[in-house]
Structure 1
Amino acid sequence: MHLVAVDWGTSSLRGALLDGTGTVLAEQGHPRGILSVPAGGFPEVFESLFAEWMRPEGTRCIISGMAGSQQGWVEAPYCACPAGLGEVARSIIDIQPGRIALVPGLRDEHAGVPDVMRGEEVQIFGAIALTGLRDGVFVLPGTHNKWVRVKDGRVEGFRTFMTGEFYALLSQHSIIARTLDADAPLDEAAFLQGVAQSDNGEGLLHNAFGARTLALFNRTPKAHLSSYLSGLLIGEELRTQSLKTSGEVVLIGSPALTQRYALAIGAAGVATRTLGAEATWAGLHALALIQHNPTP
């Protein structure tokens, strides 16, 4: 069995060709997120990118991410938490039966307010398969970060934090943007200073203004202010977590983001383990295996 595993997001998509054991045979990435696809254009885009991989008889494709949203190819309704690999596999939506299918996202509730994810659930199941950890906290940094509680291999629940989006807003569109370089490389000392400052009990709305006054009085070099602001925001996020009871935290995402979370969580005395794109491919392979060999 060959599996074409696709993570189709808002601004880009990634694909991998896997053999029956889950080994990656080839990978590709394109700036063809769902927002770039015209109405009714998903089949054409898919075939233009993956027709060669799909040619062998019996090849199947499973797609995760925003391609299953209301703005995507076909809407794949959310699964309610708690949810494990089996529940998600049973809720996969066929686009072309036996050939192309879409993974549903997950939905959780907090005091009557829904929370959702699309694509991250696959990364979590992949991380479980790769690490063997069936209990614990899994963190997926991004524009909208996910903190996920896993118990006995199932997603018990999760919370989303708009940390990445708030960083973009503050560093590009607020008064702070005039005094920092949003693209400056990470300065670990300034970052950890921001993390520590976030725990002063004054709140983010006050602490964020310090990114301006530190520049105003030349207390922090301009090249380090973006790291300080990033530390404030991630520290604010961590302030709401019970890290001391988490054990090892699994981070899944790009090196640039997981490095920052590893630093911040490490400063709290908690160990971390990091995974990248391999978690997505392992999760889609695990879902394909369950679909191929369903439990009676």
Structure 2
Amino acid sequence: MPMNSAVQLIGIDWGSTCLRIFLISSSGEVLATRSNGRGISSINGSANDYEQSLKELAGDWLEEYPAIQILACGMVGSKHGWLEVPYVICAAGDVAIASGIRTVSDGQKRQVHIVPGLAFMPANVPPDVMRGEETQIIGALTLRPDCHKKSCLILPGTHSKWVHIEHGKVLSLSTHMTGELFAVLCQHTVLGRLMSQSQNALDLSVFLRGVGDACSGGHLGLAHQLFAVRTLGLMEMLPAASLDDYLSGLLIGHEIQAGLAWRLAAGLAQAPLLLIGDSSLCGLYAQALSYCGVDDVSILSNTAPIGLWAIANCCEKKLLRDVCK
């Protein structure tokens, strides 16, 4: 990959389990991508460990571009990250996020700028937060300006986010621990004992059966319905290889039922609906939404790099405005 003067930014998406870095041009193009498993959960929390992890993956870029801007998002800014960066309170858009950035220096006195997460602090229900997803959201809104005025964004994952956007700002959000629940139930409960341990292709019909049971049997309660994963296996009404697909459908189905009710209460039923994240997981959510009668859904994958680029540009504009005051 030829290095050239158009290089503007090293963008970093540093989560709990994975470190991803992007070499980004002045036009927002991703020139190169690298990743490894050095997420913050594998780092002991010392500044030296963060410096070394970044150097291992991006050392040649840092040497080639010693003055390049470095912008990081994700759990690297959490309480257990390189530097804890306070949450920005919703409603918040790119300007508020850029204003909340904090900076840490590495051993070479290079500045690493860290994007804050967002906190939703309603008066009548418990608070909600995100770290990393705010950058994906800014990236999505950069690519889809039609979603600025009013939209509902869904970011599936370990902790799925349903997000209310108005006028380019995150107004509110709702988190569902769907992915984490799936992993815990498969690995640490009685439900996993009957499941096949080999990797099998998704059985879409069984997944949608789980979605359908969540939709039609929600009155029974999730705790009750979860036990069906075991009984369907015990009675050989579902093969072991498909039990995890049924469980996935059940959990995602319950999330979607709650999410659609939240969307309706927020007045977003007619607003654009956008899925953001891993294309295969987003595709699964699109299938589940379609089963629930919602078909007008768009999908965007890997919007973190364009989000980092947009936030970096917002920082530069803000700096110029502050200097000109």
TM-score bucket of the superposed structures, by smaller chain: over 0.9
Q: Does 1:189 align with 2:205?
A: yes
Q: Does 1:260 align with 2:268?
A: no
Q: Does 1:198 align with 2:218?
A: no
Residue type of the alignment partner of 1:186: L
Specify which of 276, 298, 305 is matched with residue 281 of structure 1.
305
* Equivalent-residue separation in structure 2 for 1:254 and 1:215 (angstroms): 30
Give the superposition deviation at 1:273: 1.3
* Equivalent-residue separation in structure 2 for 1:224 and 1:144 (angstroms): 23
Q: 1:246 to 1:291 in 2, by over 3 A?
A: same
Look up the match of 1:58.
67
Give the superposition deviation at 1:42: 1.4
For the residue of structure 2 that corresponds to 1:76, the secondary structure is coil
Q: How does 1:28-107 map to 2 (within 5 A)?
A: 28-38=34-44, 39-40=46-47, 41-55=49-63, 56-96=65-105, 99-107=111-119
* Equivalent-residue separation in structure 1 for 2:200 and 2:186 (angstroms): 11
* Equivalent-residue separation in structure 1 for 2:270 and 2:243 (angstroms): 30
Q: 1:79 to 1:234 in 2, by over 3 A?
A: same
- Of 264-273 and 2-11, deviating more is 264-273
Higher helix content, 1 or 2: 2
Residue type of the alignment partner of 2:35: G
Q: 1:83 to 1:54 in 2, by over 3 A?
A: same
* Equivalent-residue separation in structure 1 for 2:129 and 2:259 (angstroms): 19
Q: How does 1:11-26 map to 2 (within 5 A)?
A: 11-26=17-32
Contact 1:211–1:229, Cα closer than 8 Å, also in 2? yes
Look up the match of 1:180.
195
| Structure 1, unpaired ranges of 5+ | none
Residue type of the alignment partner of 1:223: A
C-alpha RMSD of matched pairs (Å): 1.8
Give the superposition deviation at 1:222: 1.8
For the residue of structure 2 that corresponds to 1:22, the secondary structure is coil
Look up the match of 1:148.
163
Give the superposition deviation at 1:153: 0.8
Contact 2:12–2:20, Cα closer than 8 Å, also in 1? yes
Give the superposition deviation at 1:112: 4.6
* Equivalent-residue separation in structure 1 for 2:298 and 2:196 (angstroms): 30
For the residue of structure 1 that corresponds to 2:258, the secondary structure is coil
Q: How does 1:233-252 map to 2 (within 5 A)?
A: 233-242=251-260, 245-252=269-276
Specify which of 1, 5, 27 is matched with residue 33 of structure 2.
27
Q: How many residues align?
A: 295
* Equivalent-residue separation in structure 1 for 2:78 and 2:230 (angstroms): 39
* Equivalent-residue separation in structure 2 for 1:233 and 1:57 (angstroms): 47
Look up the match of 1:229.
247
- Of 26-35 and 219-228, deviating more is 219-228
TM-score for both structures, normalised by structure 1: 0.94
For the residue of structure 1 that corresponds to 2:127, the secondary structure is strand
Q: Deviations over 1:261-296 (max 9, x none)?
A: 11111112222211222x000100000111112274
| Structure 2, unpaired ranges of 5+ | 1-6
Give identity over the alignment, percent: 37
For the residue of structure 1 that corresponds to 2:220, the secondary structure is coil
For the residue of structure 2 that corresponds to 1:208, the secondary structure is helix
* Equivalent-residue separation in structure 1 for 2:206 and 2:270 (angstroms): 26
Q: 1:54 to 1:246 in 2, by over 3 A?
A: farther
Q: Deviations over 1:108-153 (max 9, x none)?
A: 1243522111000000010111122212111111111111111111
* Equivalent-residue separation in structure 2 for 1:165 and 1:57 (angstroms): 39
Contact 2:35–2:57, Cα closer than 8 Å, also in 1? no
